[in-house]
Structure 1
Amino acid sequence: MSSDTAALEAEVNRLRLEVQTLRATTASEPIAIGSYLLERLKQLNVKQLFGVPGDFNLGLLDLVEAHPEINWVGNCNELNASYAADGYARVNETRIGAVLTTFGVGELSAMNGIAGAFSEMVPVLHIVGVPSTAQQQAKMLLHHTLGNGRYDAYIKAAENVTIAQGIILDAESAAATIDHILTECMKKARPAYLTLPTNLIYTKIPSDRLKIPLSHTQAPNDPEVEKEVLNEIVQRVDRASANDSVVILVDVCAIRHDARAEVNELVKKTGFPVYAAPMGKTVVPEDCKGYGGIYVGSISDPVVKAKVESAELILSIGCVKSDYNTGNFTYSIPAARTVEFHSDHTKIQHAVFPNIGMKALLPRLTPLLDPYSASARKITIPPPYTAVVPDDATNTITQAWLWPRISQFLRPKDVIVAETGTSNFGLMDVPFPAHSSFVSQLLWGSIGWATGCTLGVAFAARERNLGRTILFTGDGSIQLTVQELSTMVRHALTPIIFVLNNSGYEIERCIRGAEAQYNDIMDWEWTALLRTLGDRDGTKSVSYRVETKAELSKLLDDETFASAGKIQLVEIVMEMHDAPRALKVQTAMGNEENVYGY
């Protein structure tokens, strides 16, 4: 289906929903409001609902438990549940994640995860079971309140970290509210917030609206403005291509706003050299011809840095100009040499064209640039993006050796999750195989996020028939959210979990306090975790401890281990103060600006 057809169909359905809102009917089979919500989630291919039971959401949970296609995951705490919903949505790409919590105590616990999803543009629906409408109106002094009668306090908090808030107060508007919130969540690729009072969960409403599908398709671009934009871009490409000086720079919003296919078609058809920002790693397959590696400002490989920054024209797609994604704001790609493609606007130099989105624009631009492909394929690009394992005599596992060696272990379609810190920066510098996915949280950077996220990632990877789910985290990071390993065991998920044991918070040591006690942690018996957290008889999991390069290489080469038939945890013993190159450079630059004033 073309983008024009999809946009037209979405608009027709939007208008049909508006008509249904204005003309409620009782002709259809009535449905409980809670069931209506679940049916909408089912239509959106949401198969997992994360969360924690609480007295104000138990009525909805009874409906979830009876639902044939939506599985209640059940998390150890609400923070982990929100992380898992985030991971689920990231890997499913065109679906949303969903988390259910109870009023007050549950929703506030989940809010950090929701804020991270907002920051990184991940569509997560946060459903909150709340007290009855009568209790709210009477401002009763209920448990989970602040004790001051304020029932809007948590809604006001949610307004800061969600794109839309649906507050259901009556049956008449419930279906329209649910539909609006879900649509905003999908279209804006941001979390949304929905409250469901206990007394309305089973209230019956018409089901007519369920016949009209919801859509995440953006409104069509204005044809005249789009034509102007296309002409301007082609003229700039024409001038720059005369000197073989056009490059493509891809970033994470190409994934968030469902433009991965369009981006890859542009790369394939034009032949322009392509690079990725750290958050955009794996938007374009890293084994494709013309791929040159990661561009992250002054932290980049010198060859990559020179190629990108010397280009006369950079086609920047879905960029996020955050500190860690730009090498502490050291991007040297002036607006005068850049065309930016975004979900809801296009920017050419300093001119912004609102409502000209990349999803529809890129398929029209690609054929117009086809005449330049022959010369583009002659452009000199950096050597193939490869990982070279250092050949040194020591047997100590170092950061410089670990990540190129791990690159050899990865397989097509693997989903790799990296915790903020050494793992994220280490994996940034090595190539991934075709059709693999990289999941990281470089902008929000919440320590412990990756373990909770891996739960959702593993569910999504299983649903999509992807490859192995592999987590890289630190001994400090995993201590925050380790309980979720038990949920993985419970649901027979089989991720491989690499725990880098370097005796504490290494990223913090790079920033400040290299020898400070506040960066120390208690050393755990890591290989006993999976048995402690659910696998009592040791049949569902395997754990390993490796202290040398030889031991780790032997394990990575073992086919039984590599096949990931069980959940597996690998403790990798490393030296304190050893950090990846990119992390050292990034934190050194950051330290120059983070002046404490004494």
Structure 2
Amino acid sequence: MSDITLGRYLFERLNQVKVQTIFGLPGDFNLSLLDKIYEVDGLRWAGNANELNAAYAADGYSRVKGLSAIITTFGVGELSALNGIAGSYAEHVGVLHIVGVPSISSQAKQLLLHHTLGNGDFTVFHRMSQNISQTTAFIKDINSAPAEIDRCIREAYIFQRPVYLALPANLVDDLVSTDLLKTPIDLSLKANDEEAENEVVQTVLELVAKAENPVILVDACASRHSVKEETKALIDATQFPTFVTPMGKGAVDEQHPRFGGVYVGTLSKPDVKAQVENADLVLSVGALLSDFNTGSFSYSYKTKNIVEFHSDHIKIRNATFPGVQFHSVLKKLNEQIGPIVKDYKPYPVPKVSLTTAPTAPETPLTQEWLWTRISSWLREGDVVITETGTSAFGIVQSRFPTNTTGISQVLWGSIGYSVGAALGAVAAAEEVDREKRVLLFVGDGSLQLTVQEISTMIRWGLTPYIFVLNNAGYTIERLIHGEKASYNDVQPWDHLSLLKTFGAKDYESIRVSTTGEFDKLANDEAFSKNSKIRLVEIMLPVMDAPLNLVKQAQITAATNASK
């Protein structure tokens, strides 16, 4: 074909950058566009239960594959997705948000169409999205449309932020040249200013040469902006003790002999806290210093020798180098750092116990026991998704196997996020490796916000493990305020009937209440094989929580009450 429709052009471009599952919902302004998905081999239309879930799913998919796409309809659909889109913006996740909008002629005539505010303003929702988008495009001209589509895909990928793309219903069937597809979208980073980059590298090398107790601290953006390999090379070259933040879990191989654990300020284990805070040089990679990621801003370095490597700037002590990206800086630093650290003598890093204390089989499950035991059940390549609440705090005390991906929404913290994200992650994992396990840990309260997306998992034969931590309501909220308040209660559900209710045929639903029951499950080879969708209800005491969450809740409660 010499020409293809604009709609097909969009999906061919997404397919070229390995986005193979498209999330979203149909609406009359995007229906013609959705027809074009089925014209591109290898693409799947997920068909979500609602737009918020679709946005969460796109976020989870992108965290596994590096980019995702969601399609909503004008007004009612796109607004429903914006909470999820805002979370992707806050946490540096590349999502292309495609919105089917009314035809150009309808806009020009300011028709009083459904899904509008009734005032003839067809750009109002576009303007709402601008503050939570890296860039936006509202297509009006078929001649410039392909270039705008390419620009949007590139910026979503390069900057790892959502991008808003509005496509009028009448343009998706207009034709563009097929030849445009022969030139791949340029996804390469622009080169750093050489003089500024060299100054950064030399200054860091000088700091390293003088340091006696340096540490490396790795955070979320090391994963989001794809410098995990460069970070590993830095650890290998220097042998400096290395730590991650809660958001950084999965960014470093936790089986590496120089990995020391998770640093969360005052909420850290004492030996981790002491080693990080007594360092005379901190090399920080990809920091996102939010309250829950830092123990309510309780980082307490005793040195001013801090180097922050970011995707779009470098900060050394009080000096900032805008526009200097950490990809090539880290590569150049790794090439030159060997002679500087040749006399460095590595000292021991903190160790974590992965063995649970012996208990009688009938011992009731607790959070402390559970998260330690989970470490020995995880296996290489797993994708671990934890919900805001006890799960996100509990997973901190686990130790990941090599090549494990951790997904949590520590900064944005939208309750219910993890269920939609699990759908996206398991769809992406299936495209990468059908044997890869996706494990969701979600509280019974959070599950009720987004439970419908389990039906989408079943629809596509996806096989996640869904661990429902049943502690009778919103325990994280109870810890902060209102321990016995009814607003922290939820209606009890029959969790073991959920998979059947949503139409699953080959599934497993299990309830465990004791350490013996959990051990039996974890030791079952058949259960550990990624062969079917499973829901495991884990019964826990109402106010039982990981110790770091208890401490964080006390800090948060005090902060909320302060005048």
* TM-score of the superposed pair, with normalisation by structure 1: 0.92
Q: Contact 1:335–1:349 at 8 Å: present in 2 too?
A: no
Q: CA deviation at 1:199?
A: 0.6
Q: Contact 1:386–1:430 at 8 Å: present in 2 too?
A: no
Which one of the candidate residues 19, 22, 34 is aligned to 1:46?
19
Which one of the candidate residues 314, 325, 342 is aligned to 1:346?
314
Which one of the candidate residues 174, 194, 199 is aligned to 2:165?
194
Which one of the candidate residues 475, 478, 481 is aligned to 2:447?
478
Establish whether residue 246 from structure 1 lines up as the match of residue 214 from structure 2.
Answer: yes
Q: Contact 1:399–1:579 at 8 Å: present in 2 too?
A: yes
Q: Contact 2:209–2:341 at 8 Å: present in 1 too?
A: no
Q: CA deviation at 1:177?
A: 1.2
Corresponding residue for residue 29 of structure 1: 2
Corresponding residue for residue 204 of structure 1: 175
Corresponding residue for residue 557 of structure 2: 591
Q: Contact 2:506–2:532 at 8 Å: present in 1 too?
A: yes
SS at match of 2:86: helix
Q: CA deviation at 1:387?
A: 2.3
Corresponding residue for residue 142 of structure 2: 171
Following the alignment from structure 1 to structure 2, what is the Cα–Cα distance between the partners of residues 221 and 66? Answer: 40
Q: CA deviation at 1:262?
A: 0.8
Which one of the candidate residues 536, 543, 546 is aligned to 2:509?
543
Q: Contact 2:381–2:402 at 8 Å: present in 1 too?
A: yes
Corresponding residue for residue 16 of structure 1: none
User: Structure 1: which amino acid aligns with 2:34?
Assistant: L
User: Structure 1: which amino acid aligns with 2:387?
Assistant: E
Establish whether residue 319 from structure 1 lines up as the match of residue 287 from structure 2.
Answer: yes
Q: CA deviation at 1:179?
A: 1.3
Corresponding residue for residue 423 of structure 2: 455
SS at match of 1:444: coil
Corresponding residue for residue 199 of structure 2: 228
Q: Contact 1:489–1:540 at 8 Å: present in 2 too?
A: no
Corresponding residue for residue 276 of structure 2: 308
Classify 1:544/1:198 alpha carbon distance in 2 versus 1 (closer, same or farther; 3 Å): same
Corresponding residue for residue 464 of structure 1: 432
Following the alignment from structure 1 to structure 2, what is the Cα–Cα distance between the partners of residues 334 and 140? Answer: 63
Q: CA deviation at 1:377?
A: 4.7
SS at match of 1:146: coil
Moved more, 165-174 or 388-397: 388-397
Q: Contact 2:278–2:302 at 8 Å: present in 1 too?
A: no
Corresponding residue for residue 52 of structure 2: 79
Following the alignment from structure 1 to structure 2, what is the Cα–Cα distance between the partners of residues 376 and 109? Answer: 54
Q: Contact 1:57–1:129 at 8 Å: present in 2 too?
A: yes
Which one of the candidate residues 89, 96, 121 is aligned to 1:118?
89
Q: Contact 2:233–2:334 at 8 Å: present in 1 too?
A: yes
SS at match of 1:382: coil
Which one of the candidate residues 463, 476, 494 is aligned to 1:525?
494
Question: 1:330-361, CA deviations, whole angstroms, 9 ceiling, x for partnerless residues?
Answer: 01136722011011111110001122111001
Corresponding residue for residue 331 of structure 2: 363
Following the alignment from structure 1 to structure 2, what is the Cα–Cα distance between the partners of residues 579 and 289? Answer: 29
Q: CA deviation at 1:565?
A: 0.8
Corresponding residue for residue 9 of structure 1: none
SS at match of 1:200: coil
SS at match of 2:55: helix
Q: Contact 2:95–2:162 at 8 Å: present in 1 too?
A: yes
Corresponding residue for residue 40 of structure 2: 67
User: Structure 1: which amino acid aligns with 2:354?
Assistant: A
Corresponding residue for residue 560 of structure 1: 526
Following the alignment from structure 1 to structure 2, what is the Cα–Cα distance between the partners of residues 86 and 559? Answer: 31
Corresponding residue for residue 72 of structure 2: 101
Runs of 4+ in 1 over 6 A off after TM superposition: none
Question: 1:60-83, CA deviations, whole angstroms, 9 ceiling, x for partnerless residues?
Answer: 111112321211111111111111
Corresponding residue for residue 4 of structure 1: none
Following the alignment from structure 2 to structure 1, what is the Cα–Cα distance between the partners of residues 498 and 345? Answer: 52
Following the alignment from structure 1 to structure 2, what is the Cα–Cα distance between the partners of residues 194 and 174? Answer: 10
Identity of aligned residues (%): 47
Q: Contact 2:280–2:303 at 8 Å: present in 1 too?
A: no
Q: CA deviation at 1:373?
A: 4.2
Moved more, 203-212 or 230-239: 203-212
Following the alignment from structure 2 to structure 1, what is the Cα–Cα distance between the partners of residues 340 and 426? Answer: 41
User: Structure 2: which amino acid aligns with 1:167?
Assistant: F
Corresponding residue for residue 160 of structure 1: 131
Corresponding residue for residue 265 of structure 2: 297
Q: Contact 1:425–1:582 at 8 Å: present in 2 too?
A: yes
Q: CA deviation at 1:207?
A: 3.4
SS at match of 1:568: strand
Question: 1:537-595, CA deviations, whole angstroms, 9 ceiling, x for partnerless residues?
Answer: xx321101112111111111111111121000001111101111110111111111111
Following the alignment from structure 1 to structure 2, what is the Cα–Cα distance between the partners of residues 194 and 507? Answer: 37
CA RMSD of aligned residues (A): 1.4
Corresponding residue for residue 355 of structure 2: 388
Q: Contact 1:276–1:294 at 8 Å: present in 2 too?
A: yes
Moved more, 59-68 or 130-139: 59-68
User: Structure 2: which amino acid aligns with 1:228?
Assistant: E
Following the alignment from structure 2 to structure 1, what is the Cα–Cα distance between the partners of residues 397 and 7? Answer: 47
Following the alignment from structure 1 to structure 2, what is the Cα–Cα distance between the partners of residues 169 and 195? Answer: 9
Q: CA deviation at 1:381?
A: 1.9
Following the alignment from structure 2 to structure 1, what is the Cα–Cα distance between the partners of residues 251 and 291? Answer: 20
Establish whether residue 143 from structure 1 lines up as the match of residue 109 from structure 2.
Answer: no
Moved more, 540-549 or 114-123: 540-549
Q: Contact 1:246–1:273 at 8 Å: present in 2 too?
A: yes
Question: 1:398-425, CA deviations, whole angstroms, 9 ceiling, x for partnerless residues?
Answer: 1111111111111111110000000010
Report the count of equivalent residues.
561
User: Structure 2: which amino acid aligns with 1:503?
Assistant: A
Which one of the candidate residues 456, 463, 469 is aligned to 1:500?
469
Establish whether residue 413 from structure 1 lines up as the match of residue 381 from structure 2.
Answer: yes
Q: CA deviation at 1:440?
A: 0.5
Q: Contact 2:246–2:263 at 8 Å: present in 1 too?
A: yes
User: Structure 1: which amino acid aligns with 2:464?
Assistant: P
Structure 2 stretches lacking a partner, 5+ long: none
Which one of the candidate residues 247, 252, 264 is aligned to 1:284?
252
Following the alignment from structure 1 to structure 2, what is the Cα–Cα distance between the partners of residues 517 and 596? Answer: 24
